[in-house]
């Protein structure tokens, strides 16, 4: 049947926005971008929760998902449901993975994703306001990135960096330098208070193109598959109308939760799971929904001695420490950062110091709960069930406790509300805490990982093309073979940059 569009992109998030912008640079290519949430075409009409980069947007533009970080616990898993996706609701941390992350992707049969191959895309996406002249940064991209100078740090963030210095950690002025380590300001995609999301950076300048159509409140239920090829998508509009929209190529950029769910509802996934819900199996692909990666974290809650320093109108995050666990061969596998404000269970004015495991061995999975597209999938992370993860996070947590005792941060703390230090904190207790109480860094990825077709657990090839089904590709955090040692937003944008550029400049890869 005649295609309605050349390319349909499902999801206007970090990767999807970049792909829509790059692919539509070819005026002869008709591009349709579908977003399940609302769209705000200009900053003047954008709600404050999306503009406000000082804190996350938690409810108004959220999918309402839940997950189980560890056995027996269910917690919210915030994901952005709006143009810009999670880049429009997150903490605006613009942190790259380190070269070793991408060289590991290369080692798993993905040569296009080695460090020297992804660096040009990282440079192309950014406008680094602090280091525009160094050869590993870009100065003209759509995403503006800056770091807080010392004069703009809130009191507890300044104290965190001073404590890091007193504990012997080196200072790091640019955490995105390839060989960087240590404590310093976070690179962040924000200008003043304004969040520079992908909706703002990528879509705003592309909206005027007549060959790019953005349709919001358009929920994709499944792919349309005819024979051995995808010919379009089934879309549910906000008025309840369901229609089929056809294209020469479909790009799934719905994120690490929704992209595998769409694949499964379309008949691409593990046979046993699909048959359980009466879904016709088109491709028995065991890797869809598996290999769920994320960053386990465990935080210390500190009651402030002076409650006046706790102000939820100030930036939540400003600084970071990246370092390597003792005896580890994985550089920068640990991270410690301070959250400027929060409230503990007793309601005291508090801040938190979080220990985060950046390199993980353990994996979770994502499974359908129903064939109904409106029923959220079951998401189980199984954090720290792998003892290698539990023991390294425990060592990070112990290092984090040292911050609470180090000057000048210690003088700002009335008491540590969690964990209860009076009950003793030996190594066994901390490991147990990690296994039972770890939370998510909210960086899910890997659920449709790329790899050669000979790899039975890979879902797509290194160009994002689905194994065994033509005219459909996945391009978002789903395809990461493993979670990078960084917040995942910048890497997700980089994925969109690379695949968007291939669609624009090398369309024969995808049959155009």
For 91, the token pair is 């903490």
Dist. CA 77–CA 385, nearest whole Å: 20
Q: DSSP alpha helices (H): ranges in 238-386?
A: 255-265, 271-276
Beta strands in 174-295 (DSSP E): 182-185, 187-188, 190-191, 194-195, 212-215, 218-226, 229-237, 242-252, 268-269, 283-284
Spatial CB neighbours of 354, under 8 Å, sequence gap ≥ 6 = 297, 298, 299, 300, 336, 337, 338, 339, 400
Dist. CA 102–CA 121, nearest whole Å: 13
Place of tokens 């359908």: 368
DSSP track, 169-180: PPB-S-TTSTT-
SS3 for 472-499 is EEECCHHHCCCCCCCCCHHHHHHHHHHH
Reference 53, options 315, 229, 300, 261; nearest CA is 315
Place of tokens 């200009």: 42
* Burial (CB count <10 Å: 0-12, 13-18, 19+), residue 166: middle
For 142, the token pair is 């759509």
DSSP track, 152-170: GS-HHHHHHHHHHHHTTPP
Q: Is 443 a catalytic residue?
A: yes
Dist. CA 355–CA 122, nearest whole Å: 27
Place of tokens 């290369």: 106
Catalytic choice (5, 61, 186, 443): 443
For 415, the token pair is 């008491």
User: 332-367 burial, b if ≥16 CB within 10 A, otherwise e?
Assistant: bbbbbbbbbbbebeeebbbbbbbbbbbbbebbbbbb
Spatial CB neighbours of 434, under 8 Å, sequence gap ≥ 6 = 296, 298, 383, 384, 389, 390, 393, 394, 397
Dist. CA 508–CA 482, nearest whole Å: 28
Dist. CA 213–CA 211, nearest whole Å: 7
Residues annotated as part of the active site: 443
């Amino acid at each position: 049947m005649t295609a309605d569009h050349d390319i349909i992109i499902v999801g206007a998030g970090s990767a999807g926005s970049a792909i829509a912008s790059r692919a539509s640079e070819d005026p002869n290519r008709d591009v349709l971008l579908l977003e399940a949430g609302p769209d705000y075409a200009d900053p003047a009409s954008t709600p404050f929760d999306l503009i406000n980069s000082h804190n996350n947007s938690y409810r108004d533009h959220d999918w309402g998902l839940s997950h189980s970080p560890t056995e027996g616990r269910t917690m919210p898993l915030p994901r952005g449901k709006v143009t810009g996706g999670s880049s429009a609701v997150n903490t605006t941390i613009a942190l790259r993975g380190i070269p070793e992350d991408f060289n590991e992707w290369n080692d798993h049969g993905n040569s296009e994703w080695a460090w020297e191959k992804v660096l040009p895309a990282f440079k192309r996406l950014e406008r680094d306001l602090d280091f525009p002249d160094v050869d590993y940064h870009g100065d003209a991209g759509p995403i503006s990135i800056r770091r807080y100078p010392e004069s703009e740090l809130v009191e507890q963030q300044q104290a965190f960096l001073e404590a890091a210095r007193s504990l012997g950690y080196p200072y790091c002025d640019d955490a995105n330098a390839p060989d960087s380590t240590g404590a310093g300001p976070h690179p962040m995609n924000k200008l003043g208070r304004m969040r520079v999301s992908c909706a703002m950076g990528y879509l705003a300048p592309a909206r005027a193109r007549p060959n790019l159509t953005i349709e919001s409140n358009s929920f994709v239920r499944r792919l349309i598959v005819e024979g051995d090829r995808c010919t379009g998508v089934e879309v549910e509009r906000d008025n309840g109308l369901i229609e089929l929209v056809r294209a020469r190529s479909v790009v799934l950029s719905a994120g690490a939760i929704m992209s595998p769910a769409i694949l499964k509802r379309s008949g691409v996934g593990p046979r046993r799971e699909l048959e359980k819900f009466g879904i016709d199996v088109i491709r028995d692909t065991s890797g869809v929904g598996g290999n769920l990666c994320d960053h386990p974290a465990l935080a210390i809650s500190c009651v402030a001695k002076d409650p006046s320093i706790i102000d939820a109108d100030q930036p939540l995050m400003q600084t970071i420490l990246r370092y390597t666990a003792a005896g580890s061969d994985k550089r920068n596998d640990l991270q410690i950062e301070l959250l400027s404000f929060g409230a503990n269970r007793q309601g005291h004015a508090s801040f938190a110091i979080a220990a985060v495991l950046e390199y993980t061995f353990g994996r979770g999975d994502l499974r359908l709960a129903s064939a109904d597209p409106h029923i959220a999938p079951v998401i189980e992370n199984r954090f720290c069930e792998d003892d290698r993860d539990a023991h390294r996070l425990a060592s990070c947590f112990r290092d984090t406790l040292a911050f609470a005792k180090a000057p000048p941060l210690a003088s700002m703390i009335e008491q540590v509300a969690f964990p209860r230090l009076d009950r003793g904190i030996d190594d066994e207790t901390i490991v147990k805490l990690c296994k039972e109480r770890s939370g998510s860094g909210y960086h899910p990825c890997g659920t449709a990982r790329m790899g050669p077709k000979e790899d039975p657990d890979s879902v797509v090839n290194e160009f994002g093309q689905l194994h065994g089904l033509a005219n459909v590709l996945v391009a978002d955090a789903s395809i990461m073979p493993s979670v990078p040692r960084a917040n995942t937003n910048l890497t997700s944008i980089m994925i969109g940059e690379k695949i968007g550029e291939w669609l624009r400049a090398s369309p024969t890869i995808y049959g155009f």
